[in-house]
Amino acid sequence: MDHADLKSGRLTPDDYARNFADAHPPLNRTQALIEAERCYYCYDAPCQTACPTGIDIPTFIQRVAQDNVRGAAETILKANPLGGMCARVCPTEVLCEQACVRNTNESKPVEIGLLQRFAVEGYFANPGARQLFERGQPTGKRVAVVGAGPAGLAAAHGLAWRGHDVALFDAAPKLGGLNEYGLATYKVAGGFAQQEIDWLLSIGGITPKLNCRLGRDITLDGLLAEYDAVFLGLGLAGVNALGIAEPDLPGLRNAVDFIAELRQSAPEIVPVGRKVVVIGGGMTAVDAAVQSRLLGAEQVTMVYRRGPDGLSASTHEQHWAQTNGVTIRCWARPLGVEAQGGVLRGMRFAATSLDGGKLVDTGEQFFLEADLVLRAIGQSFVAEPIGSAIALQGGRIKTDEDGQTSLARVWAGGDCRYGGRDLTVEAVEHGKRAAVSIDRALGLTTARHLDKEAAHG
């Protein structure tokens, strides 16, 4: 029996270098100064209101325009310590840039994301001698942050800045969570995720504890015994199953694993099929589908069970996928994996339609040949590691506005928290707000913090 056409090294080294370089090149200084001049410096700016972390966008852009990159970065990072990553991955077209008043007459908002990237990366490249944020006097309080993704990193930074000692646990061998493992390589070219984390840790008071998995190496009870408070930024560890028989085949894998492998290895050694099918319609599906093309796959099809309106990938992301040669096929659900002799051959689908608001099969079926099928129909929160002591809602952790869970001394944020939109920038806001709430709960006088916050920035 012959093998599926699943292999690495389909392209030349130059192709790989080009395909996995920065998808959207940064602005140079000239471009940034001109673009910054487009900002109207609005009163009570709609872009700032639209930013989940509330970055004072007109201020940072004014500072870019005045060639004050450090001042611009300070404005951004004060509101969002992961402002560099957010500048690269935020769906700005539905957040700040959608709110820009320039849209009204020009349909061309100020390039806020690119300007933010210019400011943060310009500052990282030339940080100067003095720390941007100085850590407060040590309080002697100890907080465990579990999960070093965007929420956990933001919480750790906010807590360390307020003088608390933070132990930052993660099951993976590197910090960063989705920033390090879950984003397409071309979005975070140049080792940016770790560069940003290095800056974030430079505030001091944060001790990384890697390869520590909650429920295996550490327990919530153990952490509560040892630490004054716990922040859970656990993310979504489970990958949703397709709901059909899923035989154990080399060509059938999770899109998140494929993306993570690409982030942790040279693209030359990541195998891809000649024909690839990605099941799902979100950002993860797009990242996997586009990167399959960039690895040299000839045909890549994203299959989504509902209509185009239901795709959770933004319009911008959909266009990006199509520009890169990905076919987006809506109204189809997987029926079965087809394999011969342990080799994946493709997938059968049932065409679907809406009938009175209910998704039904039309009776039509079709077959897509594939050497690689990637599952990307969503991820889910795995609750086992936290035990039963914390109340859930909709399968995720229930919290108040500040992220406090039903269990005393435990906060949660990011994708594991109920009620969010699964955005990086939102996870950062969760972590940031939880840090404030934890600090208050630790019983230190608010006056100290108010003074410091006034002086900060």
Partner 1 sequence: MADLSTNFLGIKSPNPFWLASAPPTDKEINVRRAFEAGWGGVVWKTLGEDPPVVNVNGPRYATLFSQDRRVIGFNNIELISDRPLQTNLDEIRSVKRDFPDRAMIVSLMVPVTEDSWKAILERVADTGADGVELNFGCPHGMSERGMGSAVGQVPEYIQQVTEWCKKHTRMPVIVKLTPNITDVRFPARAAHAGGADAVSLINTVNSVMGVDLDRMIMSPHTDGLGSHGGYCGPAVKPIALNMVAEIARDPSTADLPISGIGGITTWRDAAEFIAMGCGTVQVCTAAMVYGFKIVQDLCSGLSNFMDDKGYRTLADFQGRAVPTVKNWNQLNLNHVEKAVIDQDSCIQCGRCHVVCEDTSHQAIFATKDGQRHFHVNEAECVGCNLCVSICPVPGTISMRALQPGETDARTGRVIDGSYANWTTHPNNPMRTSCA
- The residue (of 65 and 183) whose beta carbon lies closer to partner 1 is 65
- In whole angstroms, what is the distance from residue 85 CA to residue 198 CA? 13
Q: DSSP H helical segments within 138-203, as ranges?
A: 150-161, 178-181, 192-201
Residue in 102, 316, 329, 409 binding partner 1, rule: CB under 8 A: 102
Our finding on whether 46 is near partner 1 (CB under 8 A) is: yes
Question: Quick one: which of 17, 18, 37, 354 contacts partner 1 (CB under 8 A)?
Answer: 37
Closest to partner 1 by CB, 106 vs 226, is: 106
Nearer Cβ to partner 1 (62/75): 62
71 SS3 class: helix
- Written as one string, the DSSP assignment of 156-168 is HHHHHHTT-EEEE
Q: Smallest distance from the beta carbon of 32 to partner 1, in angstroms?
A: 10
Q: Which stretch binds partner 1 (CB under 8 A): 35-43, 81-89, 395-403, 430-438?
A: 35-43
Residue type, 281: G
Number of residues counted as binding partner 1 (CB under 8 A): 17
Q: How far is the CB of 77 from partner 1 (least distance, A)?
A: 24
CB 268 within 8 A of CB 292: no
Binding to partner 1 in span 126-145, by CB under 8 A: none
In this chain, which stretch among 40-48, 137-145, 291-299, 325-333 interacts with partner 1, using CB under 8 A?
A: 40-48
Instruction: Decide: 287 and 255 in contact? Cβ < 8 Å.
Output: yes
Which residues 57-76 are close enough to bind partner 1 by CB under 8 A?
65
Give the span between the Cα atoms of 350 and 335, in whole angstroms.
6
Q: Is 28 in the site for partner 1 (CB under 8 A)?
A: no
Element (H, E) at 333: strand 332-340
Contact (Cβ atoms closer than 8 angstroms) between residue 163 and residue 205: yes
Least gap, CB of 132 to partner 1 (angstroms): 22
What are the CA-CA distances from residue 173 to residues 38, 116, 238, 256, 363 (Å)?
43, 29, 19, 16, 47
Residue of 43, 363, 443, 454 that binds partner 1 (CB under 8 A): 43
Decide: is 104 part of the binding site for partner 1 (CB under 8 A): yes
* Site of interaction with partner 1 (CB under 8 A): 30, 33-34, 36-37, 40-46, 65, 101-102, 104-105
